[in-house]
Amino acid sequence: MSLLSPLTALVVAGVAVPALLLLYFLKLRRKEVWIGSTMLWSKVVEDLQANTPFQRLRASWLLFLQLFLLLALLLALARPIFGLKPGEGGQRVILLVDVSASMGAGEAKADGEEANTQAVTRLERAKAAANEMLDRLRSSGDEVQVMVVAFATRARIAQTFTSDLRFARAAIESLEVLEEPGLLGPALRLAETYAGPDQSGNEEVPVRMVLLSDGRFGDDQTPSYAGGEVEFVSVTTGSDGAGGPDAGESADVEDNVGITFLAARRDIVDVSQVDVLCGLASTAADLKTVRVEFAVDGNVLESQAVSLEAREAGQPAEGLARLRFVNLAGGVLRVTIARGDALATDNTVGLLLSPPRKATLLVVYPSGESAADEYLMSVVNELPLYEVETWPADRFETLLKSGEVLQSSDGHAFSAIIFDRVSPSAVPDAPTLSLGARPPVPGLSLTPADVANPSRRILSWNRQNPIMASVGLDTIAVADERRLSLPDDDSEALAIAEGGPIIGVVEPRRGGRHIIVSFDLRQSNWPLHVSFAIFMQNAVDYLTQRGSADAGQMIQTGQTMTLRASPGATTVKLTGPDERTMPVREDGSVTIGPLDRVGAYQAEGLPAENVPIIANLLSEVESNLLPVESVQIGHEAAAAQTVDRSTPRELWPWLVALALGVLGVEWVVYLLRARWR
C-alpha cells in the first residue's frame, strides 16, 4: 500500500492531534455562584485554592474514539492506494479489448420492474471494467497515458496514447462486437510496436499491457509478447478473479450450442444427390440432444435431433448432423439450430450450392494422326463428371486464329484443354494440360536435359501440391531427354528427374492455369501405372476447379476469397449485413473480404452463379463459452484476474465511511455517559 498525499495528512495531524489532546489536559472553568453561607463549602474552597490550568490526562473511551476518528480522517487525507507497485507513479497503459464473436455472448437481465429484458454481453462487461480502470488511473493523481487497441481476427488502434482519459473512454464506448474469430497474436504485435520509449525518449516510463477478454483465441501458434508481462482481466460472467465461475452465476452465459463445421458434396456417380455434414459443439450443461433444421432457399428439407456427447470432462460436447437429399437447381443451403442460447451468431450457417454440371474437356492431338492416343483416351474417358471431345491440331488452330470462341458441340465453353504433343500458336483462354509439348507462356521452354540417359528416373516430386496428391512416381522411367525451363515467378516444379524438372505448373498473375509434362507419354511407362490415372484426375480437377464448386461456396468471417468478376466490371459492391465496395484487378479477379458480419450478401459485379456470398463464423473456439483460468503468452501463463487485482485502488472512501461509523459510536458513548451522571 502506498500514500498519494502523505504531506497533507502530516500537516493536518500536526494541528488536529495536539488540539484534541489539549482539550483533555485543560481543567474545566468554574462558574461563580452567590450563596448565603460558605460553611458547607469549605472543601470546595480549598480545591479552588489549589486549582491549576492543567490536569493529568485520564483514560477515557471518548478520547480513544475521537483519536481513532481523527486517525481515519487523516489516513483518508493521505489517500492510501492499494496495489500500486514501486515506480508506477507515471505510466503508460495499453488496453487490449477483445471484440471477437464470443464477446457478444450475454445473459438476460431484468430491466427494472418491467418485463422487458436486456442482454448484458461480455463486451459490455469489458467496457465497464475498462472504464473502472480509467477511473482508478485518473484518481491516482499521476500522469497516465492510455492507448486502446480493439482486436478480433485483425487488430486496430481505437485510440492512440492520450493523457486525456475522456478520449480513451469515448473510444472504449464506441467498440462493437465483430462476428469473427479472435486472434491474440496480431493484437500483441501491434501493441508491441508502441511499447517502446515514450515521445520524450524516456525508456523508464513503464508500459502496462492489460488484456480484457474471455480468453478464447484461435491462434495457430502460442502468441508471444516481448514487452514484458500481460495482465489478463477475465470478463466472463461469475469470474471470481481466478478464472473460474462462481456457482450459479455463469450458467446462462455458458449455455451455447454452435455450428462449427459445414460441408456439402455431390455424389460422384449421381450428381443429383447432395451429402451434407454439419458439426456441432455445446457448452450447455446437461443438454443431450439438440434439433437441427435443414433448408434450401427457405424450404425446409428436414428437422432432426442430434445427439451431443463430451469426449473429455470439462470440454464442450460434440455432435454430427448428416443429410442426403436431391438437388438439381442449386440454391442457398441453410442449417439452423432450433433453440435460443447465449450466442446467436453461430446458430445459423449456409453455403451456396452450385447446380450439377459436367465439365467439358477438349483433347487436341497431332494433325497427322487419325485419332488421339489410345492410352491417353482410355484414362480421360473414365474421368467422372467430364464430357470429352477430341480435335486434330489443324482444326484447333483454324478456330484459334479466326478469333472464334472455342466451344463444344453443345455450345458450352471448354473447361480445360489437353494438348497431346501439340504446341498451340497462342495461349487459349481455357486452362491447359500439355503432354510432351509446351504452351507459348512467356519464360516457359523445353530444353535438352543436363544428362543423356535413355532411361531417366524421377528423383523427387512435390507430394504437398494437390496435383500430385497420392501420385507415386518412384517406378517411372522416361526416355525423353527434354527438361522444363520454368518462369522465375508464378511457377512450381512438381517432379524432378535426372537432368532437371519434367513436370511443372504455371499460374500467371493475369489468370490462366497451365500444367506441363515435358516428355511424350509413349516414351515412358507411366500410362501403364495407376498413378497416371490419379494424376490426370487431380490435374483436370485443379484446372477446372470442379472440386471447390461441388463443395458449395462460402466464406468464413475474418477471411478472404478470390473470385472472377463479371466481364467489364471495375468494382464489386456487397450489400447485406454490411456494405462495402472492392476494386477489380486488371486480370479480372476480385478479393472478397474480410467480412465482419455473418449472413448472405448480394453482390453487384459478380457472375450470377457466385451470388449470394454467404459468410459464416464456423469456429470451435468462439462457440466455446466456458471460462478459462489463464492465457498462454509465450512461455508464461497470464492468470485471469479482476479489475480489483489488476488496478490500484484508492482506500479513502472506505476510511471516510469508517470515520462516520466511529463518529456514531462516539455520540452514543457520550449520551450514555451524560445519562449515567
Residues 57-76 pLDDT 10s: 555 666 666 677 677 776 76
User: From its phi and psi, is residue 588 left (phi > 0), alpha (psi between -120 and 50) or beta?
Assistant: left
Q: Give the CA dihedral 467, 613, 157, 196, nearest 10 degrees.
A: 0
In percent, how much of the chain has pLDDT > 90?
47
User: Would you state the pLDDT for residue 648?
Assistant: 57
d(CA 352, CA 614): 7
Confidence at 671, pLDDT banded by 50, 70, 90: confident
Tell how far CA 469 is from the center of its chain.
31
Reply yes or no on whether the pLDDT at 432 is more than 90: yes
In percent, how much of the chain has pLDDT > 70?
76
C-alpha cell at 566: 463479371
Confidence at 245, pLDDT banded by 50, 70, 90: very low
- Please state, in angstroms and as integers, the Cα–Cα distance from residue 93 to each residue in 68, 137, 163, 353, following that order: 38, 9, 10, 49
176-180, 190-194, 506-510, 665-669 — most confident range: 176-180
User: Would you state the pLDDT for residue 266?
Assistant: 84
Reply yes or no on whether the pLDDT at 643 is more than 80: no
User: Would you state the pLDDT for residue 113?
Assistant: 40
Confidence at 660, pLDDT banded by 50, 70, 90: confident
Reply yes or no on whether the pLDDT at 387 is more than 80: yes
Which position has the higher pLDDT, 403 or 337? 337
* Of 309-313, 535-539, 552-556, the least confident: 309-313
Residue position matching grid coordinates 461441388 = 550
Reply yes or no on whether the pLDDT at 675 is more than 90: no
Tell how far CA 619 is from the center of its chain.
9
User: Would you state the pLDDT for residue 408?
Assistant: 85
For residue 548, the surrounding DSSP H or E stretch is helix 546-550
User: Would you state the pLDDT for residue 386?
Assistant: 85
d(CA 280, CA 296): 20
C-alpha cell at 569: 466490371
d(CA 183, CA 152): 6
Residues contacting 360, CB < 8 A, separation 6+: 386, 387, 388, 389, 408, 410, 412, 413, 414, 415
Which position has the higher pLDDT, 614 or 315? 614
User: Would you state the pLDDT for residue 280?
Assistant: 96
Using alpha carbons only, give the angle 634, 639, 643 rounded to the nearest 5 degrees: 125
d(CA 108, CA 275): 38
User: Would you state the pLDDT for residue 457?
Assistant: 87
The domain at 359-549 falls in which architecture?
A: 3-Layer(aba) Sandwich (3.40)
User: Would you state the pLDDT for residue 200?
Assistant: 46
d(CA 647, CA 275): 54
Nearest to 342 by CA among 316, 379, 362, 380: 316
Q: In the chain, which residues fall in CATH 2.60.40.10?
A: 256-354
Residue position matching grid coordinates 477483445 = 98
Reply yes or no on whether the pLDDT at 243 is more than 80: no
Could you give the maximum distance between any two Cα atoms of the chain, in Å? Answer: 159
Is residue 436 within 8 A of residue 521, CB to CB? The reply is yes
pLDDT in tens, 538-575: 999 888 876 555 568 899 999 999 888 988 899 999 99
Length of the chain in residues, anyone? 677
Reply yes or no on whether the pLDDT at 471 is more than 60: yes
**DSSP-H helix ranges across 103-183:** 122-139, 165-173
Please give the single-letter amino acid code of residue 123: L
Nearest to 91 by CA among 469, 578, 647: 647
413 backbone dihedrals φ, ψ, rounded to 5°? -70, 145
Stretch 157-184: mean pLDDT? 95
Question: Does the domain formed by 91-250+626-650 have CATH 3.40.50.410?
Answer: yes
3-state SS of 630-669 is EEEECCEEEEEECHHHHCCEECHHHHHHHHHHHHHHHHHH
Instruction: Specify burial of residue 106 (Cβ count, 10 A radius: 0-12, 13-18, 19+).
Output: buried
User: Would you state the pLDDT for residue 56?
Assistant: 57
Q: At what angle do helices 61-78 and 6-25 cross, to 10 degrees?
A: 160
Measured over the CA atoms of residue 366, residue 370, residue 371 and residue 372, the dihedral's sign is: negative
User: Would you state the pLDDT for residue 569?
Assistant: 92
Reply yes or no on whether the pLDDT at 168 is more than 90: yes
Q: Mean pLDDT score of the chain, rounded to an integer?
A: 82
Stretch 368-378: mean pLDDT? 91
Reply yes or no on whether the pLDDT at 220 is more than 50: yes
CATH C-level class of 256-354: mainly beta
User: Would you state the pLDDT for residue 67?
Assistant: 72
9 HSE (CA, 13 A, CB side): 16
User: Would you state the pLDDT for residue 81?
Assistant: 60
User: Would you state the pLDDT for residue 232?
Assistant: 94
User: Would you state the pLDDT for residue 12?
Assistant: 65
Using alpha carbons only, give the angle 580, 582, 585 rounded to the nearest 5 degrees: 175
Reply yes or no on whether the pLDDT at 78 is more than 50: yes
Return the DSSP state at 526. Answer: G
User: Would you state the pLDDT for residue 247?
Assistant: 37
d(CA 544, CA 158): 44
User: Would you state the pLDDT for residue 651?
Assistant: 66
Measured over the CA atoms of residue 81, residue 84, residue 89 and residue 94, the dihedral's sign is: negative
User: Would you state the pLDDT for residue 337?
Assistant: 96
User: b/e for 499-535, b at 16 or more Cβ within 10 A?
Assistant: bbbbbbbbbbeeebbbbbbbbbbbebebbebebbbbb
159-163, 270-274, 447-451 — most confident range: 159-163
Q: Give the CA dihedral 495, 498, 499, 504, nearest 10 degrees.
A: -10
Which position has the higher pLDDT, 187 or 226? 187
End-to-end alpha carbon distance in the chain = 44
Is residue 514 within 8 A of residue 431, CB to CB? The reply is yes
304 backbone dihedrals φ, ψ, rounded to 5°? -130, 150
User: Would you state the pLDDT for residue 251?
Assistant: 47
C-alpha cell at 307: 445427439
Residue position matching grid coordinates 477446372 = 544
Other beta carbons less than 10 A from residue 32's beta carbon? 4
User: Would you state the pLDDT for residue 87?
Assistant: 42
Nearest to 549 by CA among 418, 358, 416: 358
Is residue 90 within 8 A of residue 142, CB to CB? The reply is yes
131 backbone dihedrals φ, ψ, rounded to 5°? -65, -40
For residue 601, the surrounding DSSP H or E stretch is strand 599-604
Reply yes or no on whether the pLDDT at 345 is more than 80: yes
User: Would you state the pLDDT for residue 3?
Assistant: 58
Query: pTM score, two decimals?
Result: 0.66
Reply yes or no on whether the pLDDT at 440 is more than 70: yes
* Of 74-88, 137-151, 523-537, the least confident: 74-88
Is residue 324 within 8 A of residue 272, CB to CB? The reply is no
